Structures are given as C-alpha cells and as structure tokens.
Chains A and B, each alone.
Chain A
C-alpha cells in the first residue's frame, strides 16, 4: 500500500508539473517579451540572443525535460521577482507556512473535537453545534480574517493587523494569533461534524453500556472509552481536509501579509515569476500529499481493522 501510494504521488507530481508547464508554455509570449515591453531599447537581435541564452528557442518538450530534470537534481532555478535562487526564497517560506498550518490545525482539531464531544454527550446541544459547523464551513476564510482585523486590530487595537515581527520570541506570537484564529475557525467545522458523528456512533456500542454498568462516570466513559475509538474518523478528516487547509493558508497569508508559501505563490503569479510559481506550487502539492499519506498511515496504525483492506 505504501509503495502504491508513493507511486501515485510521483505520478500526480509528474502530471501536475507537465500540465502546468505546458499550459504556461503554450500561452503566446515569454519572459523575453516582458523584458522588451519593459525596456524599448532592446533590439530584435538582443531578443534572439536572450532567447538562445535562456533556452527559450528550444521546443517546449525539451525545455520541460531540462527543467524537470533540474528539479529532480535539486536545481530549482532562479526567481525573477526576488532576483535570488528559488531555493533561498522557498525554504524560509515553507517553514513559516508549516508553523501557521501546525498551529491552526492544532487549534481547529482541539476546538472542533471539543464541540463534537459536546454534541455527542449532550444531544440537546447537537443542533447548536451543527449550526456552528454549517456557518463555519460556509463563511469565506478571508471574510473571517477581515472581521477579526476590524475587531481586534482596528477597534480594540490589541493585536497587529498583519505582517511579522522583527523581534522574534513572544512578540512573534502576537502576529500569529489572528492568522491562526482565522484559519482554525474556517477549518474546525469538519472536525466538529465528524467527531460528533463518530462519538455518537461509538456511544451506542454495547461495551459503552458495559463500562457504565461497571460504575464509570459519564466523563470517564466519554474520554476513556468512546473518544479513542472515534479518533480514527477524526484522523480521516485531517487527511481529507489537508488540501483545504493549505488553500486557506494561501488566503490567510495574503490577507495578513505573512511571508509563507501561499503568499509566495500569489506574489510569484502576480509578478509574472513563472519559475518560482511552478516550483512553489509543486512543493506545496508534494507536502500536502505527503501529509495526507501520513494521516492515512496513522489511521492504519491506530485501527488494526483497516490494515488488511
């Protein structure tokens, strides 16, 4: 299963890189046209020389082969926008995004599972939790972010509206609060819905009745007996929602001006930096698929029933 999944990830990466490269390559115009538009003194000979220098006179397929071969050897090329090697731009951005994603995932899962347990343990509260879940799922991430900025940064002035800290340490945490809250609220709905359903289902199992009959308190039954058995469907949400979480990170980073992968892709796209945009997109896709795989493997480790399937 692991080999098959890794193979599928490799095929998906190859297909994605090929499709994207082709799409951008097939569009008329190339970076040299941009350079000509930017500097009218460039002559036709200059343009031809530059095209030959950058290999743009080669057919599209051989350009793709050279580019993809370079990627496989760790040569990510240069960024037009930052005038730096892509590798130097991309790793700090990935680190920043992973911090944001990790914190948001932790908050979303904790709050979501908490709401789900509440709904399962107190059926009277279930409709309220359901409503919260539908609203959280339907509200656009950037709207939540703007509302949080208006409330906490503009009106109350407690937290910065965006950017990052130069000081580091505790000060950096203040810059993380609003982005993490935005991303977490947007993603907790799925955790609430799935854990409510899974725990509710588990609570009807006979061994729960047995645990109650032995005189266990309701809290102990819920946390010690019902919840661990509901953990597997919750991990499934983490696997299914990885892509949505990463998409939300792109929006959140752009909104809060955080220098992560999402903002990098956005800036590269807006700045016509094709190479940086493609490399960053491929890296984000790879990380997302590996995270999904990790969540699936964790499910198998937790639930022996899934191993034979």
Chain B
C-alpha cells in the first residue's frame, strides 16, 4: 500500500521529468529565455502556472527542475549506496580495528550538523579545478560529490549490521568449507542477502539528497540559474512573495511529493 503510493508519486515525477522537452514544444514557450513583457503573470490558459519575475513559464521550469532534482537525488543515492555497501561490507568482513575505525568515523559524521558542513563544502570554488560553476552538468556533479560525503553513512551502518548477521550463517561457513574464495563468499552469498536493507537505505538517501540539494540551491550554493531546480525556483519565489506569491507553491509541492514518495517506498520496503 505504502510502496504502491510511493512508487506512484515517484513515477508521476519521473514522467514529468521525461516530458519536459516535449512539453516545451506543446506549450510553445522557452523556460530559460526571459520575456519581460510577461513578468509576474498569474495562471492563465497560456501560462498554466503563471510566470516568474523574468516572464519565464513556471510549469516548464517546474518540469525541467524535476530533471535536475531527480537526477541529483538518484545519482547521489547510487553513489552513496555503492560507497556505503563497500564500507559496510569491509567493516563487517574484516572486523577488528578497521571495523571500529570505520564505525567511529560514521558515528562522527552522524553527530555533525550536516547542512552547515555542506554549506562550507559547497562554497569551495571548484572552478579552479576545472569544474566551472554555473554550468548545469558540473553543478550537478559538484552537488552529487559533496552530498555523497554524508550520504554513505546511513547505507554503511545498515549494510554492516546486515552483513554481520549473514556472515555468521551456516551457508557462509558451508561455502567457505567448500573452498569458495572470500570474494565469492561476499559477492555471491552476502551481497544478495543484504540487498533488502541496502534498498531501504538507498530510498532514504534519495529523499535526503533531494532535500539537501533543494536547500543548497535555495541558498544559492547549488544549481545556479538560469538552469531550473526546485530549490533555486523557491529562492526566486522568496523575492516574489509580494508580486507573484503563486510562484512559491508548486516547487515546494514537487519537493514534498518526491521526498514523501521516497519515504513511503522505504517504509513499504521495510515491512
């Protein structure tokens, strides 16, 4: 039930993201070019959700924002899942000092207030290492990289706990007794059996990444305009509370849908 609802919400958003370039043709607007004769237009047949302070169509920007926000969320979650699984497996498999060190590191990361640290990280000027700011693709890569710094922790803790219990099972001992290499034990026997908890943690990581990206973009440290992300649309909407208050409604609802969708999927998978 929860799973179905969550998947429906996410499916709708994915559809919106896929339709963005087509919708441009249907509606006949360009979401990136200012049209100063149509500033602050309320919802109408021509602009279904109205326009912003530069006369750009809000519906099209919302659809394009879905591409950016979902891409950042999914890419971050995949990177975090991969890194977290490797670290969690390593900690559970090697045990001892390495396990203790990795888990203290995870505890330390969890204890930190993530957003202030992310703000300082996001401010590092990546232009000097060849990732120019303001280019949509390099902005996305930069945000994915810094969100992964915190994203792996949740996955690693769940993966370690699950791997510890699997490694103590008889079928693992049997596989070792039959002469299976450690790599085969981990990849054939452990990883498939901890896929459930990893999927839950990954779904939660998508939610966390979408929220964090929108927060950073809202603060002007994430995806830079003219590219649209739900976060930078809301940053713009904050300046328009008097002239175009409707601009604030939809990007926030979209973030809400995406995050609630991921949370519901995680809840559903857990049961």
Which residues of A line the B interface, CB within 8 A?
A: 8-9, 11-12, 15-16, 20, 23-24, 27-29, 134-135, 137-144, 146-147, 149-150, 153-155, 161, 242-244, 246-248, 250-251, 254-255, 262, 265-266, 269-270, 277-278, 281, 284-285, 288-289, 292
Q: Apart from A137-B263, A285-B117, what 13 extra A-B contacts exist at CB < 8 Å? A: A23-B121, A24-B124, A134-B260, A138-B207, A140-B259, A141-B215, A146-B241, A146-B248, A146-B252, A154-B245, A265-B119, A266-B119, A284-B116
Instruction: Report A97 CB to chain B, min CB distance, Å.
Output: 11
- Give the A-B pair count, Cβ closer than 8 A: 144
From the candidates B113, B120, B264, name the one contacting A269 in the complex (CB within 8 A). Answer: B120
Contact of B152 with A by CB under 8 A: no
B111 near A161 with CB under 8 A, answer no
Instruction: Report B125 CB to chain A, min CB distance, Å.
Output: 6
List, in ascending order, chain A residues with CB within 8 A of B119's CB. 250, 265-266, 269
From the candidates A141, A144, A247, A278, name the one contacting B113 in the complex (CB within 8 A). Answer: A247
List, in ascending order, chain A residues with CB within 8 A of B110's CB. 243
- Chain B interfacial residues counted at CB < 8 A: 45
13 contacts between A and B (CB under 8 A): A135-B256, A138-B255, A138-B263, A143-B255, A143-B256, A146-B248, A154-B241, A155-B245, A243-B112, A243-B113, A250-B116, A250-B119, A251-B218
B125 near A27 with CB under 8 A, answer yes
From residue 162 to 191 of chain B, which have CB atoms closer than 8 A to chain A?
A: none
Contact of B234 with A by CB under 8 A: yes
Instruction: Report A246 CB to chain B, min CB distance, Å.
Output: 4
From the candidates A27, A150, A242, A251, name the one contacting B245 in the complex (CB within 8 A). Answer: A150
List, in ascending order, chain B residues with CB within 8 A of A246's CB. 113, 115-116
List, in ascending order, chain A residues with CB within 8 A of B37's CB. none
Which residues of B line the A interface, CB within 8 A?
A: 104, 107-108, 110-117, 119-125, 128-129, 207, 211, 214-215, 218-221, 231, 234, 237-238, 241-242, 245, 248-249, 251-252, 255-256, 259-260, 263-264
Cα A150 to Cα B117 in complex, Å, equals 30
List, in ascending order, chain A residues with CB within 8 A of B252's CB. 139-140, 143-144, 146-147
Write the chain B residue with the least CB distance to A261: B116
B111 near A265 with CB under 8 A, answer no
List, in ascending order, chain B residues with CB within 8 A of A9's CB. 111
From the candidates B104, B211, B238, B249, name the one contacting A8 in the complex (CB within 8 A). Answer: B104
B120 near A142 with CB under 8 A, answer no
Instruction: Report B1 CB to chain A, min CB distance, Å.
Output: 11
Cα A150 to Cα B252 in complex, Å, equals 14
Instruction: Report A299 CB to chain B, min CB distance, Å.
Output: 16
B124 near A135 with CB under 8 A, answer no
List, in ascending order, chain B residues with CB within 8 A of A242's CB. 113
List, in ascending order, chain A residues with CB within 8 A of B120's CB. 20, 265, 269, 277-278, 281
Cα A263 to Cα B245 in complex, Å, equals 24
Cα A72 to Cα B260 in complex, Å, equals 44
Known: A140-B214, A265-B116. A146 touches B237 (CB 8 A): yes
Write the chain A residue with the least CB distance to B220: A270
Instruction: Report A170 CB to chain B, min CB distance, Å.
Output: 26
Instruction: Report A30 CB to chain B, min CB distance, Å.
Output: 11
List, in ascending order, chain A residues with CB within 8 A of B211's CB. 140
A270 near B123 with CB under 8 A, answer yes
Cα A51 to Cα B251 in complex, Å, equals 46
A8 near B108 with CB under 8 A, answer yes
